[in-house]
Amino acid sequence: MHHPPIFFCILSFEFPISMAHPCSSISSSFVITFIIFQLLSTCTLYANGCYTSIISFGDSLADTGNLKQLYHSTNRETLHFFYPPYGETFFHMPTGRCSNGRLIIDFIAESIRLPLVRPFVGVKGRYMMELRRGVNYAVAGATALDSSFLAARGVHNPMTNSSLRVQLGWFKRSLTSLCANVPDCKHFLGHSLVLMGEIGGNDYNHALLAGKSIEELETYVPLVVEAIISAINELIELGAKTLLIPGNLPIGCSAVYLTNYYGSDNVEYDNSTGCITRLNKFAEYHNGLLKTKLSRMRERHPEVNLIYADYYNAAMQFFRSPNEYGFTNGALKACCGGGGPFNYNASTACADPSSNVCVHPDSYANWDGLHLTEAAYKVIYKSVFQGPYAIPQFESVCPTLIIKEMDGISSSR
């Protein structure tokens, strides 16, 4: 298994300082201070031992503001994600994140001492340099398959056409700017942690909400997984050495589907969780095929770290035992929504004037019916990065990585 090299910073100076004039000392001191500052800034890039940057693709589980920027730039009618109470717990304002606070990608960035990953959309020119330590191409609502493919099958994406292929195109076009003043792009990518998703969940969500059967969705799975694998191959060819590829969450536990199927005599529920068994089996099918494909890729690319992030089983921990993880109000009912048995109503979304929001979101795992709370994302993060829910485990990929203890990070600024 390839391990990115570890960098050490050694500061050594020899400066002839003339004392002929009082100003000489001041000037020389300023120069020394400036150079030390620059070198220390460079050292910070390598402080976590493995990664100098985070590059992200995906959907609403990873979007830190791209969809919001896309709507703003085209003067389209804004979505409920862009209004309070979204973002209230940590940012104290909506940021475009589909949660009350931080996402898994935010916890990753904080833990390896990199800035929170900024959205790509809307950043131009010289400001691209600011994205060198982290750039996010993920878009809420995005699919792995192109929108045209899904539309031909009667599945329309009401939010965005920024599929994985579109996001990859953005990345390729911005690569020259991101790689400026570094040895080469392969060097830059080789020392970046690439997050491939989560992506693919919306290919199924949009189809299910359009009334497609699970049997039809099963025919999509090989195509969705192949789209993900194809993107990974392109990134490897460009120089990526460490990629984190999450599987899908247990969608049978989502308040959206629990509400849609509520009262149906044809639905089987898991007695241990209350989740819809068949939908979760479907998610397991996707994840199983993805893991199989990644295993084959590891054989072809032994020099590359391909890490499967088991979001499904990491989340199932709190769906099975919500109280154990502090979710005293349960894991299935949404914190913010329009009422009903699971506080979800398709006609009254979270942030609508008539919707309601819980007082203590940290006691809920579900945020708005489809997305999770910051507290739930934190559990998944810790399970993947500090626990056993990654293949291979993250510590084996980067044993020198400084993982910041997440319990020491406050839930608000």
Q: Active-site positions?
A: 60, 368, 371
302: buried, middle or exposed (CB in 10 Å: 19+, 13-18, 0-12)? exposed
Strand order in the sheet with 390-391: 118-119, 135-136, 53-57, 192-196, 242-246, 305-309, 390-391
Identify which of 167, 142, 144, 63 has the alpha carbon closest to the alpha carbon of residue 105.
63
Amino acid at 180: A
Residue 343 and residue 330 in contact, taking contact as beta carbons nearer than 8 Å: no
Q: What is the DSSP letter of 322?
A: G
The per-residue DSSP string of 225-268 comes to HHHHHHHHHHHHHHT--EEEEE----GGG-HHHHHHTTT-TT--
Residue 108 and residue 195 in contact, taking contact as beta carbons nearer than 8 Å: yes
Q: What is the DSSP letter of 130?
A: G
User: Taking CA 14 as the corner, what is the angle to CA 8 and CA 19, rounded to the nearest 5 degrees?
Assistant: 145
Q: How far apart are CA 328 and CA 324, in angstroms?
A: 8
Distances (CA, A) of 116 to 83, 85, 112, 302, 338: 21, 20, 10, 30, 31
Q: How far apart are CA 76 and CA 122, in angstroms?
A: 15
Both tokens of 126, joined, read: 């010289």
Give start and end residues of each alpha helix (H) in 268-371: 277-300, 311-320
Identify which of 94, 20, 36, 88 has the alpha carbon closest to the alpha carbon of residue 64.
94
Tokens 């100076």: give the residue. 13
